[in-house]
Copies of this chain bind each other. A is one copy, B any other.
């Protein structure tokens, strides 16, 4: 399985824009951020690591291009989205005690927790620095302020969601609605922000922006639930994360939440005993996998992903898009529906 072409279309421009944001930042401090972005290795030597799919920036530029025929105007916003996303990854890795990301040690493992906290926060501030470059793209000042406001609000939602996600790990039971609310904050809001940003920089009318926002909303839910599936059943070699890792760290991801709601009293008792065992190991994980299988959690998760994908497709059906853009929006949905990484 390969990435749809649309991820390649903007890649070089996104990377160049990110490089511009870092221009002039010469203190050794910024090595941590460059390391996280995959530009240098632990010793400061240039590398060319994968730094992710750049989903959010791609969505932003596609929305912009599909409305206006060009995407350069939105590049500072696209880079800002990557910076917000990556700030959250640096802090998440500390909070989740994750030692590896994209097949490399995480920032806190290399530089220590105190400095990794600094790296994450600076990455978040740099997102706003990037947004200021919209002035040079001729975006009107009131539009820039609105875009900044949207990005700041989405960042707050993301942090609120991360707070909930962490607090769920300490609870025995989480309802499906609570779970959906949490991922709406943690993941969906930045993804729909990405599409709204790309649109609002070149369009004023709410009725032009709205379909993108709604498409992003559905895509965001699909994306996160697929992420949950991969966090349990994904192939370590492809995802870069150990198999079943979400179980071992007691994440209340969709399959777990579903299984709890659809299990027998006996199964719930088993689940709760397994989750209370501070030393849960591979055997415990396999036992949880068994219960997930029995309750049909995997199939149900995929079914829900499919529903969100269907909704995303129908949201853009009515939008006045050229055939290339439409195809790209559709390909994105089909990829996120079944992605393995």
Q: Which residues of A are at the interface with B, using a C-beta cutoff of 8 A?
A: 27, 29, 87, 91, 94-96, 113-115, 117-118, 120-122, 124-126, 128-129, 132, 135, 141-142, 144-145, 148-149, 152-153, 155-156, 159-160, 162-164, 166-167
Contacts and interface: CB of A to CB of B under 8 A. Distances in A.
A102 to B, nearest CB: 21
A162 B116 CA distance: 12
A95 B121 contact: no
B163 A29 contact: yes
B145 A114 contact: no
Given A29-B163, A148-B128, A121 B118 contact: no
Contacts of A152: 125, 128-129, 132
B145 A117 contact: no
Contact of A132 (B96, B129, B149, B162): B149
A251 to B, nearest CB: 13
A275 to B, nearest CB: 19
Could you say how many copies of this chain the assembly holds? 2
B166 A114 contact: yes
A159 B125 contact: yes
Contact of A121 (B27, B91, B148, B149): B91
B125 A155 contact: yes
**Most chain B CB inside 10 Å of its own CB: which residue of A117, A122, A142, A164:** A117
A117 B91 CA distance: 7
A153 to B, nearest CB: 8
A118 B144 CA distance: 26
A144 B142 CA distance: 10
5 contacts: A29-B163, A94-B114, A115-B167, A117-B120, A129-B153
Given A115-B167, A121-B159, A124-B124, 10 more contacts: A29-B160, A29-B163, A120-B121, A122-B156, A126-B156, A129-B149, A129-B156, A132-B145, A132-B148, A135-B145
Contacts of A156: 122, 125-126, 129
Contacts of A166: 114-115, 118
Contacts of A120: 117, 121
A24 to B, nearest CB: 11
Contacts of A122: 156, 159-160
A148 B149 CA distance: 12
Nearest to A32: B163
Contacts of A142: 141
A148 B124 CA distance: 14
Contacts of A126: 156
A125 B149 CA distance: 10
Contact of A144 (B128, B145, B162): B145
Contacts of A27: 160, 163
B159 A118 contact: yes
A161 B132 CA distance: 23
Contact of A128 (B113, B128, B135, B163): B128
A125 B159 CA distance: 10
A41 B150 CA distance: 32
